[in-house]
Structures are given as structure tokens and as C-alpha cells.
Amino acid sequence: MRRGREFGITIDEFRIDMSAVRDRKRRMVSHSVDIHLDIFKKSGVELILGSGRFIGPRTLEITLQDGTARRVRGDKVIISTGTRATLEAIPGLAEAQPLTHVEALELDVIPEHLIVIGGGYVGLELSQAMRRFGSKVSVIDRNNRLLHREDEDVSEGLRGLFDDEGIDLVLNARLKKYIGEVRPGSPSVI
Ligand SMILES: Cc1cc2nc3c(=O)[nH]c(=O)nc-3n(C[C@H](O)[C@H](O)[C@H](O)COP(=O)(O)OP(=O)(O)OC[C@H]3O[C@@H](n4cnc5c(N)ncnc54)[C@H](O)[C@@H]3O)c2cc1C
């Protein structure tokens, strides 16, 4: 749409409705959850939805969604609790209430200027999406290239694409402190 004129397509006006974008995302997530719940049911595996904690060797207590508790024991217990984003101890960062990928996916406004800390695939995915929605985007990474675990030609290719899209890249850089204005309700850093 933004490059329409280049292709001879005239678009007088268009705007992004982030609430609608978010609603669609929520529908996609809930559809995906339904599919997986269905697979679980069909497989015969018992799925217990609740929060588990060990209360003894190989024994867990689960707080179920209705608040009641249930105990389970297994000869073998596999812990697969995943990870959560952590905030580096950069002065001022926590106070700035930055978004992690969780909150960023719940935005119903397009940030005026989004600063993305970290040029890994999650940060890059969000950067590209937000840039295309119309946000100014700057990516800061401590390494001298994007996706530094990938082959160098991948990083080079991405750099070219990001330059073309007008995404600002600040590489080989470490954050010392966050000195921006803290505006509750309008976080702009992820
Ligand atoms: C924005 C984003 C985009 C991504 N895109 C891709 C992609 O395109 N392709 C790809 O392959 N990967 C992608 N990933 C990575 C992928 O999502 C993760 O690698 C994967 O989800 C890890 O699976 P997991 O089961 O280890 O952990 P999780 O998916 O985090 O699952 C852990 C689960 O354990 C639950 N849990 C935690 N503690 C307890 C407890 N005490 N009791 C009960 N339950 C508990 C949590 O609620 C959660 O449901 C993406 C990640 C992010 C953040």
C-alpha cells in the first residue's frame, strides 16, 4: 500500500486499525490453542490445566483453574516450563516499563518510535511488522551484526532489507542507561 504509486496504484488514504490487528491476532492464537487442545483430547493424554509445583520427590501439587488442588506423582517427571523475557539491569530501563514480546503483541496503538533492544529473530520480526504498520523503528544490538548466530550472509541480507525499509540499526552498542521520558500507558521500548 505504501509503495502503491511506484506500481501505478493510487491509494488516496489508508490507515492501520491496531485494535483490529490485535483482535485478529487473538483469534489466530485462540484457534491455534483449540487445535492443540483437540489433538490432546484425541491422543488420550490427560491434560491438566493448572499451575504445578513440587511438594516432594516426583510429586506435584497442581492448583487448578477453579482454585482447587490436585496431587500427582510420576516415576518420571519432565519439566518443560519454557522461559520468560528478563530485563537487563540497565539503569532506568525497568522504570520505563518496557514491553516484552508479550505486551508488544497486545498493542492497540502504533508506537510513534519503537526502540527494540536486541536484534534476535523475535526483535526483528516485531521491528519489521511495526515499521510496516507505520512506526519509526530503531534496533539496538550489542553484536556487530543482526542474528549473530546465523551465517554472515544471512545477517548481511537482513541488513540490506532493514536499510531498504528505513529501520534504524544501532549495532555494536551497549545500553548504558535509559533516560527517556517515562509515560505510563504509552510504553515505547521492547
Ligand atoms: C514472539 C515469538 C515468536 C516466535 N516465533 C517462532 C517461530 O516462528 N518458530 C519457532 O519455531 N519458534 C518461535 N518462537 C519460539 C517458540 O515459541 C519457543 O521456542 C517455544 O514456545 C518453546 O516451547 P516450550 O514448550 O519450551 O516453552 P513454552 O512455549 O514457553 O511453554 C511452557 C509452558 O509451561 C507453562 N508453565 C510454566 N510454569 C508452569 C507451572 N509451574 N505449572 C504449569 N505450567 C507451567 C507455561 O504457562 C507455558 O504454557 C517464538 C517465540 C516468540 C516469543
Q: How close is the Cα of 96 to the center of ligand 1, in Å? A: 26
Listed range (61-65, 73-77, 97-101) with the worst mean pLDDT: 97-101
The per-residue pLDDT for 182 is 55
Listed range (9-18, 54-63, 64-73, 150-159) with the worst mean pLDDT: 9-18
The dihedral built from the CA positions of residue 67, 71, 72 and 73, taken in this order, carries a sign that is positive
Side-chain half-sphere CA neighbours of 171 within 13 A? 15
The per-residue pLDDT for 187 is 44
Q: How close is the Cα of 154 to the center of ligand 1, in Å? A: 25
Q: How close is the Cα of 123 to the center of ligand 1, in Å? A: 16
Q: How close is the Cα of 82 to the center of ligand 1, in Å? A: 5
* CB of 58 sitting under 6 A from ligand 1: no
CA gap 127, 136 in Å, rounded: 9
Walk me through the domains of the chain, giving residue ranges and CATH numbers.
45-82 (no CATH), 94-189 (3.50.50.60)
Q: Hey, which residues does 139 pair with through a beta bridge? A: 116, 169
* CB of 79 sitting under 6 A from ligand 1: no
Q: Give 137-165 pLDDT, tens digit per residue.
A: 999 999 999 999 999 999 999 999 999 99
* CB of 68 sitting under 6 A from ligand 1: no
Q: Give 71-80 pLDDT, tens digit per residue.
A: 999 999 999 9
